[in-house]
Amino acid sequence: MDRLLVLVRHGQSDWNLKNLFTGWKDPDLTEKGVAEAQAAGRALKERGLTFDIAFTSALTRAQHTLKLILDGLGTPDVPTTRDLALNERDYGDLSGLNKDDARQKWGEEQVHVWRRSYDVSPPGGESLKDTVARVLPYYCQHILPAVLDGRKTIVAAHGNSLRALVMVLDGLTPETIPSMELDTGIPLVYRLRANSTVESKEVLSLR
């Protein structure tokens, strides 16, 4: 049985380009982001990968990325579940602010703590720990059972919501996960054992 799980961070969004804290705000992809998603689809197609089921967040940039990937694979009708449990981390009062402006307002060190600590949340927002607390139950209840049932699964989501999954899959700790970067549009291809542990992992390169 091929227990396939592919994770893809959405392509570059308009607010990524403008260096803004995005969180639950809903900008779409840039032209570069569209190209990244299309390249992800080509990379998956070159590996001969197709999907039986898809999951994404409630936000446009992730949904658009998934659509472009599935269109590129020639399988636009793959059953897809959209859920805010897979949304990006909520940056609260930082949402919509330029990151450099935020550093000027609160200081470099404080903004770094909000961005890179595991359990410190920005004003009105979520810590990475909070994000993990909503993503992992959804993974265990909905995504993992599909994978273990042999349904080839793709998840298109966000840097921090996917960090929560990678933390579990790769056995990372609260100390190491905040510094791990996920590049936009790069598929992570996992194959799981029957006990849900990782048998193999491949990071696909785009051309």
Question: Where does residue 74 fall: left (phi above 0), alpha (psi -120 to 50 degrees), or beta otherwise?
Answer: left
Q: Which of 10, 36, 126, 158 is catalytic?
A: 10
What's domain 4-203's superfamily in CATH?
A: Phosphoglycerate mutase-like (3.40.50.1240)
pTM of the model: 0.95
* pLDDT at residue 181, rounded to an integer: 87
Residue 32 has pLDDT above 80, yes or no: yes
- The ranges assigned to domains in the chain are 4-203
**12-16, 78-82, 96-100: which has the highest mean pLDDT?**
78-82
Asked whether the predicted pLDDT for residue 207 surpasses 80, the reply is no
Secondary structure class of 14 (helix, strand, coil): helix
Q: Does the annotation count 88 as an active-site position?
A: yes
pLDDT above 70 (res 62): yes
- Is the pLDDT at 27 greater than 80, yes or no? yes
Q: What span, in angstroms and rounded, lies between the C-alpha atoms of 6 and 188? A: 5
161-181 exposure pattern, b = at least 16 Cβ within 10 A, e = fewer:
bbbbbbbbbeeeeeeebbeee
- Contact status, residue 98 vs residue 20, Cβ threshold 8 Å: yes
What DSSP character marks residue 143?
Answer: I
**Confidence band, pLDDT 50/70/90 cuts, at residue 178:** confident
Asked whether the predicted pLDDT for residue 206 surpasses 90, the reply is no
Q: Active site residue: 36, 64, 88, 158, which one?
A: 88
Residue 64 is among the residues annotated as catalytic for this protein: no
Q: What is the percentage of the chain residues whose pLDDT exceeds 90?
A: 92
Q: For 100-141, what is each residue's pLDDT tens digit?
A: 999 999 999 999 999 888 999 999 999 999 999 999 999 999
User: How far are the Cα atoms of 22, 34, 117, 145 from residue 178, in angstroms, in the given order?
Assistant: 17, 27, 6, 27
Rounded Cα distance, 193 and 148, in Å: 8
3-state helix, strand, coil in the chain (%, to 5): 45, 15, 40
Instruction: Give me the phi and psi of 194, to 5 degrees please.
Output: -65, -25
